[in-house]
Structures are given as C-alpha cells and as structure tokens.
Amino acid sequence: MTARLVVFDAYGTLLDVDGAARAAAAEPGGEALARLWAPLASDWRRKQLEYTWLRTLMGAYADFDVVTADALDWAMEAHGLADVGLRDRLLALYRVLPAYGEARGVLEALKGAGIGRAILSNGSPGMLQAAVEAAGIAGSFDAVISVEAVGRYKPVRAVYDLVGAETGVAAGDVLFVSANGWDAAGAAAYGFRTLWVNRTAAPVERLPGRPAHVAADLTPVPELATQ
C-alpha cells in the first residue's frame, strides 16, 4: 500500500553527523584533528544519544543544543583536546551538517509522486531550521517536527505520537525512515512501517519492534513508499 507520508529522522539519516569533525579537520589549523576526527565524531555521537536517553529517564530534559554541546565536551576531554576555539567551531559546523548525497534526489522523487514528506527529530527547532537550510533541503518537507513539543527524546512513544498530531496521518499510512537501529525499532513497535538505513552493516537491534525493510542508504525509499 502506498504510504501517504514518509517521515525521516534527521541526524545520521538525512544529515551526515560525521561532517562537522571531518570539515574541521580539513580546515587550516585543524591539524590536531587530522588523526582524531573519526573517533572524536564517533564518541561525540555516542554520548549525544546516551544523554538523550538518560535525560529522558531522569526527567531532566534539555534541548538538543545543550545535549550536543555536553557530548562534545565529554568527547574532547576523552581525546585530550582543550581548545575552546575548536569547540566553538565544531558546534558551529554541527548546525550546518551536509546532507547525504542521495537525499535530495530521494526527496524530489517523493514529491514528484505526490507523497508527503516530514522530519521527526531530536533536534531543537532552531537546529533543524539551520540544518535543512544549510543542506539545501529546506523546501522539501510538509512538516519538520521536533521532540521539543513533548520535552522527551526518542524512542518514547509520545514522540512518535507527534507525527499523527502534526500531520493527521495515521501510523499505518506512514513509512518511517531512520539510520538509527534503536529508532527504527521504536518506530516499528509504535506501528509505523519502517526502513532502517543501515549504513554500517550493523546487526539488527535486539529490541521490541523490527524494521520491515533494511537498506544501505536512502535510495530505495521512493520505491518502498509505493509498495
């Protein structure tokens, strides 16, 4: 059955979360990151996600800007980096992450097929607006939905409830797309038909809910949306 709406996660799915550290390492003065950018980016992302889950469990919500900065501080200390200028530059670059190469074509194909497109993200509204504009995909969505509306992070069910509340589309008419295995599991358990974009060939998460589809990138989305 053709989906009425395709809902994308943003960070790691449409936007390359390694892009900030990679770009900083390539800039003049970025020599300190030449050998560290990849593990730094990995630790930054891991801590960012951990802090969203832990803050939700603790009932201590802070917006994604704060979580992202806290995670970077941890990662920089772990790698022996204490450069305030570098910290500021990495945070600035995180607000303008590049989109994955196939993202624009996929969004254009969905639009051409008359299928709705939305983002559901942990990102704060300001972060998301800056990100989609910088990536050149700002006009590609019917809705850009932030968890800030409920003050909790994925995979809490109240976050997935926002899709229906904001768009009026029932869960059974949604194809949900995420590169985060735990998010794909949460969305599947919620009742969305789900595509896990498994860019790293990782094992399927042992969690309630399993993705209906798995792909290496976003390319199959338009075809899957019409099945």
> Residue 114, Cβ neighbours under 10 Å: how many?
8
Q: Tokens for 27?
A: 């800039």
Structure tokens at 64: 């994604």
Which residues are bridge partners to 99 per DSSP? 15
CA gap 114, 5 in Å, rounded = 9
In one-letter notation, the amino acid at residue 138 is A
Task: Using alpha carbons, select from 206, 6, 216 the residue that is nearest to residue 110.
Answer: 6
CB 56 within 8 A of CB 150: no
Q: Are 154 and 52 in contact (CB under 8 A)?
A: yes
Q: Is 9 a catalytic residue?
A: yes
- Residues noted as catalytic: 9
